[in-house]
Amino acid sequence: MNSQTHSALIWTPELSVHMEYLDNQHRSILRLIDTWWNKLNSGKFNATKENLAKIFSFLNRFTQQHLELEERVLDILEDHFDYSTETVAGHKMRHQVFRDDIMGHFHQDIMLRARSGDNGMDQLRPIAKWWVSHIKTEDRGYADVLAALTPERREDLYVHLIDSLLNRPIVIVGYKQFIKALRQTS
């Protein structure tokens, strides 16, 4: 990973999707990748199969919890705010490809490499790139809609979102838990 890609991993306000919680999740995902990458790069990460599996599972859980929450917001925008059904379907498809193909291959790859003593560091690069590009393109679509909401409509959106979360809660993993687990991988 070169320094350009590396600096792109810092969340900046231009990546904002105009909903604080989703912004925080994006920020956490980028920080997680960046922190893991730094640790791998410093040579302090002990790339055992267990350690790789543990840290991968954090990245995967951060990914799942974010994509799920974002899809709830997309559903609400589609159902109550005239947001295009095709756009929502396309966006969800991108998420599905990332979950199944990109993260699936990443997992297989690091597990195979663990056996040969390789830490799979270079495999983090496409993952990081995907996030930055996805936030800047697909996520930008709904971000523009959120930015244009009146305070009343934004309130409506939150009411629908709280309803959705009460009906089907999303289990959230915190960044501190990840840092604690990462400390144990030296």
- Least separation, in Å, of the C-beta of 95 and Fe ion? 6
- Least separation, in Å, of the C-beta of 161 and Fe ion? 15
- Least separation, in Å, of the C-beta of 132 and Fe ion? 11
**Long-range CB pairs of 64-70, under 8 A, 24+ apart, other chains included:** 64/99, 65/25, 65/170, 65/171, 65/172, 65/173, 66/22, 66/25, 66/26, 66/29, 67/95, 67/98, 67/99, 68/170, 69/21, 69/22, 69/25, 69/170, 70/22, 70/95, 70/139, 70/142
Residue 38: count of CB within 10 angstroms of its CB: 13
Q: Which is nearer to Fe ion, 34 or 139 (CB)?
A: 139
Q: Which is nearer to Fe ion, 40 or 74 (CB)?
A: 74
- Least separation, in Å, of the C-beta of 67 and Fe ion? 7
Phi-psi region of 10 (alpha: psi -120 to 50; beta: other; left: phi over 0): beta
Q: Which is nearer to Fe ion, 69 or 114 (CB)?
A: 69
Q: Which is nearer to Fe ion, 22 or 110 (CB)?
A: 22
| Cα distance between residue 183 and residue 119, in whole Å | 16
Which residue in the shown chain puts its C-beta closest to Fe ion? 139
- Least separation, in Å, of the C-beta of 185 and Fe ion? 27
Q: Which is nearer to Fe ion, 54 or 94 (CB)?
A: 94
Tokens of 153: 């409509």
Binding site for Fe ion (CB under 5 A): 70, 139
